Amino acid sequence: PEISGYGAGLDEHFRNRKEYAPLLKRDLMQATSISLAFTDLTISGNGPVAWIMSGCNCTFATEGNDKQTMRVRMTLGLINTGSRWLIEQIHLSVPNTGQAPGQSFSDE
């Protein structure tokens, strides 16, 4: 199985492990600390396939900066290989803060 998906950054998109590895490494190298807290977690599946949908509060610090928390929305697609579950698809997004509740588009 391969992995594909989108991160929250403009340049964060990948179609295989080779493209994903440097993005993950960059995240880990740029942060002095990272913690994840999942919210509104929904897990469903059918046979060897599962889907996860969740909010995620990502709290991190970078060199010389205070901790920040970024609210991220996440979906994952997983497959069971018989011995373990592997992530095959990732999508992370940051809500558009310029879009008012009940509106389809932002005013910006």
pLDDT of residue 108: 67
Domains of the chain by residue range: 4-93
pLDDT of residue 17: 94
Task: Supply angle C-alpha 50, 58, 28, rounded to 5.
Answer: 90
4-93 has which fold? Nuclear Transport Factor 2; Chain: A, (3.10.450)
Running DSSP on this structure, what letter comes out for residue 7? Answer: -
Consecutive 10-residue averages of pLDDT for the chain (108 residues):
89 95 94 96 98 97 94 97 96 90 85
Q: Are 21 and 29 in contact (CB under 8 A)?
A: no
